[in-house]
Amino acid sequence: MAPMPTANCQPPTVIPYSMSILSIKVENLSKLYQLGQVGTGTLSKDLQRWWAATRGKEDPFAKLGQENRRDIKQESDFVWALQQIDFEVQQGEVLGIIGRNGAGKSTLLKILSKITAPTTGKVFINGRIASLLEVGTGFHPEMTGRENIFLNGALLGMSKADILARFDEIVDFAGVAAYIDTPVKRYSSGMYVRLAFAVAAYLHSEILVVDEVLAVGDSIFQKKCIDRMLSIVNQGRTVLFVSHNLSSIRALCRRGILLENGKMVMDNEISKVLDYYASQNIFFDTEIDLLPVVRERFFGSIRFARIRFAHNPFQFGQDIAFEVDLVKDNDCHQYDDVDLGFAINDLNGNRLLHVSNRFIHKPISFSHPRKTVRVKLQNNLKGGVYALELFLRVNDVIHDWLKEHIYLEILEGNPYGYGQSDLIYGQFIGSFEMEETGHEG
């Protein structure tokens, strides 16, 4: 288990902000997107479409079977990405923005960052706003670390003098002093990300808008990032923070707003918002239908259909047992040597363990339309909530990958006989050898 940085997990107790001055005021903000494209994107296709229409033929570029897609109704071509959002952020406040994928978090940040304009409503801003929707925007691999600091800083709205004044701090924070005049294409990915974050972390702005950036880097660097964010907060700067990483939101924010389908459904203390969000979105079902889950990228001809846990929650130390049903599309293909993998992550997204049928030399072949695989795994997890990631691959081609849809809970236990299992750090090993080999005196 990743030991939580306990000192930094608590919301900062003293926030020096004045109660009356606002940094941001969002009024009746809405954003309408048009689904699909008005044109086809190329002149030749638009001309072909026009030619077909004048002869009374079918539109040659209309997508077949579009009407029975997924479960959303396609009555109109317009979708409200945000609808009538109102909130205020006080100076020095750190606001967490929470919501599932597609809830409107990114759209909100894009409007606040002036990347896209709202359809209705206004946002009043008091102070310079700097937004960080991606680390390393504009970095060029051929340029040195030094040049990229200046370039990236300039992109984020800093003047050359601003950057010069903070240059040493940035290099120091990123820990790349020795390579500062080396082109960043020679950097390791860790160094690259550290440098990119460092520029943004030392931005001189009264308001900072941050999206997901803490999801990068190793856990030590993530902790450093959180510490840095905390010190930004303690300087009295206003921060708007969007992340899937619920525990970093809990650590950084005092207040949160929850978005659902473009609407703001909650604006409250962060713990209340997070509890509500978890109760709405994390289900400890013993059986989950996986076919309706919308896959983001991978959708091959074989995929996960259903998972059944023997229990959920599991007792402390009780073997984690489950069955997964796999389905295959109606092709005559036979798949030999399927790599069926799964991983268990904590809620910070840290990978705790990774298992594959290949590790134990159990080949799985797939010729029938349906198949069930049973898994039993020794439970080394301490009490808590975990995400189970499922993974299906054949010949290095990913067919299915479910990342954040299945959760399981391990109850606390009493392994010492007198103490709670929450005293355990790392993994709990319930079976190993130990014997007394002699004594003196």
What are 63's two structure tokens? 């997508």
In DSSP terms, 22 is beta-bridged to: 90
- Write down the least CB distance from residue 11 to another protein, Å: 25
Q: Which of 85, 95, 111, 327 binds another protein (CB under 8 A)?
A: 111
Residue with smaller CB distance to another protein, 94 or 112: 112
Distance separating alpha carbons of residues 309 and 189, to the nearest angstrom:
37
For another protein, what does the binding mask look like between residues 392 and 431, x meaning CB under 8 A?
Answer: ----------------------------------------
Residue with smaller CB distance to another protein, 158 or 302: 158
DSSP H/E element including 302? strand 302-309
Stretch that binds another protein, among 50-58, 134-142, 283-291, 400-408 (CB under 8 A): 134-142
Residue with smaller CB distance to another protein, 1 or 143: 143
Find all residues with CB under 8 Å of 115, minimum gap 6, and list them. 133
Residue with smaller CB distance to another protein, 42 or 74: 42
Stretch that binds another protein, among 106-114, 216-224, 285-293, 399-407 (CB under 8 A): 106-114
Q: Which of 96, 118, 217, 317 binds another protein (CB under 8 A)?
A: 118
Q: Binding residues for another protein, how many (CB under 8 A)?
A: 55
Q: Are 322 and 308 in contact (CB under 8 A)?
A: yes
Q: Does the protein bind another protein through residue 112 (CB under 8 A)? A: yes
Distance separating alpha carbons of residues 138 and 407, to the nearest angstrom:
37
Long-range contacts of 268-273 (CB under 8 A, 24+ apart): 270/11, 270/96, 273/96, 273/98
CA angle, 225 then 383 then 408, to 5°: 90
Tell me, rounded to whole angstroms, the distance of Cα 197 from its chain centroid: 17
Q: Does the protein bind another protein through residue 276 (CB under 8 A)? A: no
Stretch that binds another protein, among 138-146, 344-352, 373-381, 424-432 (CB under 8 A): 138-146
- Write down the least CB distance from residue 152 to another protein, Å: 9
Please give the sequence-ordered ranges of beta strands (E in DSSP) within 224-296, or none if there are none.
238-242, 255-260, 263-269, 287-289
Q: Which of 156, 233, 242, 290 binds another protein (CB under 8 A)?
A: 156
Q: Does the protein bind another protein through residue 204 (CB under 8 A)? A: no
Q: Does the protein bind another protein through residue 128 (CB under 8 A)? A: yes
Stretch that binds another protein, among 126-134, 275-283, 396-404, 412-420 (CB under 8 A): 126-134
CA angle, 296 then 300 then 304, to 5°: 80
- Write down the least CB distance from residue 400 to another protein, Å: 27
Q: Indicate the pairing of strand 22-34 with strand 397-410.
A: unpaired
Determine the 3-state secondary structure of 370 from DSSP.
Answer: strand
Q: Which of 57, 77, 114, 362 binds another protein (CB under 8 A)?
A: 114
**How many CB atoms sit inside 10 A of residue 37's CB?**
7
- CA torsion, points 270, 272, 278, 281, in degrees to nearest 10? -100
Give the footprint of another protein on residues 17-76 (CB under 8 A): 20-22, 25, 27-28, 33-34, 37-39, 41-44, 46
DSSP state letter for 204: -
Residue with smaller CB distance to another protein, 111 or 326: 111
Distance separating alpha carbons of residues 260 and 102, to the nearest angstrom:
8
DSSP H/E element including 51? helix 43-54
Closest alpha carbon to 187 in 152, 144, 126 = 144
Residue with smaller CB distance to another protein, 49 or 328: 49
- Given the rule CB under 8 A, which residues bind another protein? 20-22, 25, 27-28, 33-34, 37-39, 41-44, 46, 110-129, 131, 133-134, 137-138, 140, 142-143, 147, 150-151, 154-160, 183
